[in-house]
Amino acid sequence: MQVIADLVAPVVVLQEADKRLPPRPAALPHEMAEAQGWQVVDFGEPAGSLGFHGNAMLIRPDIGVLTTAHIDLPGLEPRGAIRADLATAIGPLRVIGTHLGLIRRYRLLQLRAIMRHLSQLSPMPTVLAGDFNEWGPARALDNVTPGLLILPERPSFPSPRPVAPLDRFAISGNLVARNHGTHSARPARVASDHLPVWADLTRR
């Protein structure tokens, strides 16, 4: 919670926020987040879970929730994504959080599933955020994310000495990243095996 507070972000997307085995209780208790002034976005999972397949979203009280959904993703291991359409200071914003698979074939299938989901919705400024598990350059994913720009790599893993840009943002063309980077201030390097990545977005 200290690392999250240090980011000074109105919207935070988390991965591995629930424990892996049923009934998948939250690794970060609801009460702890709420005590720090966060609203835990509800994605319809059973009581005790913070999100869906470990993906969760925290928002500040001045952010409104318009709609939410969760997306089952294909692959050898259970994977999913969350979507929240939000009312923010820069206008309506669609935020998708995900944690893609370890095998590239399935990562590509999972991104295609997310893009199919988005294609069925009314257009809205969109940001896709999460652990893409992609060690190489972003261009490897460009063909399966049409309409989204994957921001330049920022190494985030492993947190003590980051070399791999696993954690990424992809944004729609009506958004601009004024800046983005990796948060490495203490205690981020010991709070997780990944450093947080952040993006300061505005409307084009």
Residue 38 structure tokens: 């966060």
Q: What does the pLDDT profile of the chain (204 residues) look like in tens digits?
A: 999 999 999 999 999 987 766 666 788 888 899 999 999 999 876 666 788 888 999 999 999 999 999 999 999 888 999 999 999 999 999 999 999 999 999 999 999 999 999 999 999 999 999 999 999 888 889 999 999 999 999 999 999 999 999 999 999 999 999 999 999 999 999 999 999 999 999 999
Determine which helix (DSSP H) or strand (DSSP E) holds 199, and give its type and residue range.
strand 197-203
DSSP 8-state secondary structure symbol assigned to residue 174 = T
Secondary structure of residue 176 in the 3-state scheme: strand
Q: How many CB atoms lie within 10 A of CB 29?
A: 14
Which amino acid is located at 45 in the chain?
A: E
Residue 59: C-alpha distances to residues 77, 92, 112 (Å): 28, 14, 27
pLDDT, position 51: 82
60-97 per-position pLDDT tens digit? 999 999 999 999 999 988 899 999 999 999 999 999 99
Residue 155 structure tokens: 């190494």
Angle 31-47-87 (CA atoms, 0-180°, nearest 5)? Answer: 70
Stated pTM of the model: 0.94
pLDDT, position 77: 85
99-109 per-position pLDDT tens digit? 999 999 999 99
Which amino acid is located at 197 in the chain?
A: V
Q: Show Cβ contacts of residue 9 under 8 Å, excluding neighbours closer than 6 positions.
A: 198
Structural contact between residues 140 and 124, judged by C-beta atoms closer than 8 angstroms:
no
Structural contact between residues 123 and 145, judged by C-beta atoms closer than 8 angstroms:
no
pLDDT, position 44: 77
C-alpha span between 26 and 19 (Å, rounded):
6
pLDDT, position 47: 62
Structural contact between residues 144 and 107, judged by C-beta atoms closer than 8 angstroms:
no
Residue 125: C-alpha distances to residues 40, 63, 111 (Å): 22, 15, 18
C-alpha span between 48 and 128 (Å, rounded):
25
Q: How many CB atoms lie within 10 A of CB 190?
A: 10
Q: Show Cβ contacts of residue 20 under 8 Å, excluding neighbours closer than 6 positions.
A: 54
